[in-house]
Amino acid sequence: MSFSDLGLSPELLRAVSEKGYASCTPIQSEAIPAILAGGDVLAAAQTGTGKTAAFVLPILQRLAGAEAGAPRKLPRALVLTPTRELAAQVADNARVYGRHLDIRTAVVFGGVGINPQIEELRRGCDLLIATPGRLLDLAGQGALSLSRIGQFVLDEADRMLDMGFIHAIRQVLKLLPPERQNLMFSATYSEDIRSLAQRFLRNPRTVEVAGRNSTAERVEQCLYRVPKEHKRHLLAHLIHQGNWQQVLVFTRTKHGANRLAKQIEDAGIAAAAIHGNKSQSARVRALEDFKSCRVTALVATEVAARGLDIKELPHVVNFELPNVPEDYVHRIGRTARAGAAGSAISLVSPDEAPLLRDIERLLKCLIPVAALPQFPIAADAAPESERRAQRTSPRTGPAGGRRQADRGVNRGRSEAPGRARQAAGQVPRESRDSRPQQDDQRNAGDNRRQSGSQPDPAHSRHVHRGPHHQGGQMSSDRHAAHRNGGRGRSDGGWRRA
Residue 442 clears pLDDT 80, i.e. is over it: no
Q: What is the CATH number of the domain that holds 162?
A: 3.40.50.300
Pair 101, 181 in one domain: yes
pLDDT in tens, 248-282: 999 999 999 999 999 999 999 999 999 878 887 88
pLDDT at 257: 94
Number of neighbours of residue 212 by Cβ within 10 angstroms: 12
Best-predicted range by mean pLDDT among 52-56, 377-381, 427-431? 52-56
Residue 398 clears pLDDT 90, i.e. is over it: no
**Average pLDDT of the chain, as a whole number:** 77
Pair 66, 185 in one domain: yes
Pair 279, 186 in one domain: no
Pair 8, 133 in one domain: yes
Pair 223, 203 in one domain: no
Per-residue pLDDT averaged across 45-72, rounded?
Answer: 80
Pair 126, 61 in one domain: yes
pLDDT at 336: 63
Pair 351, 444 in one domain: no
State which of 208, 239, 272 marks the end of a domain.
208
Question: What's the structural domain count of the chain?
Answer: 3
Pair 155, 244 in one domain: no
Q: Does residue 379 belong to any structural domain of this protein?
A: no
pLDDT at 72: 67
Q: Does residue 406 belong to any structural domain of this protein?
A: no
In the structure, what pLDDT confidence band is assigned to residue 423 with cuts at 50, 70 and 90?
A: very low
pLDDT in tens, 214-237: 555 678 899 999 999 999 999 999
State which of 208, 239, 274 marks the end of a domain.
208
Residue that wins the pLDDT comparison between 31 and 416: 31
In the structure, what pLDDT confidence band is assigned to residue 108 with cuts at 50, 70 and 90?
A: very high
